[in-house]
Amino acid sequence: MPSLVPISTDDPEHEANKKSIELFKQWKKPFLTAFSDKDPITRGGDKFWQTLVPGATGQNHTTIKNASHFVQEDKGPELAEVIVEFIKNNP
C-alpha cells in the first residue's frame, strides 16, 4: 500500500492511492478489516474497505477497542488472535 494517507489531491501519494484503490475493487480473496476505535486518522475506514473490496463480504470484521493508530503496538496480542482466526477460517 502507498506509504501515506493523503488528505488532499496535492499530496504526493494521492495518485498511488487512487491506483491501489482501483486494484482493491477487484480483490476477491478473503479480506479482513480490524481497525482500532481510537485512531484519529483512520477510524471509520473499515466501512469504506468493507464496501469497496469484494473479498470483504461475509468476513468477521472487528474493531479493536481501546487502541489508537498503532493498533499492533497498543493491542498486539488481541490483533494477532483476530488474524489467526481469520487465517483459520479462510484456508
DSSP string of the chain, one letter each residue: --SS--SSTTSTTHHHHHHHHHHHTT--S----EEESS-TTTTTHHHHHHHH-GGGTT---EEETT--S-HHHHSHHHHHHHHHHHHHH--
In-domain check, residue 53? yes
**Could you tell me if residue 4 is inside a domain?**
no
Nearest in space to 65 (alpha carbons), one of 89, 31, 39: 39
Domain housing 70: 33-89
Q: Considering its fold, how many domains does the chain have in total?
A: 1
Q: What is residue 15's predicted lDDT score, i.e. its pLDDT? A: 87
pLDDT greater at residue 79 or residue 2: 79
> What's CA 18's distance to the chain center, in Å?
16
In a domain, 42, yes or no: yes
24 within 8 A of 53, measured Cβ to Cβ: yes
Q: Does residue 54 lie within any of the structural domains? A: yes
Which one is predicted more confidently, 9 or 57?
57
Write down the pLDDT at residue 44. 85
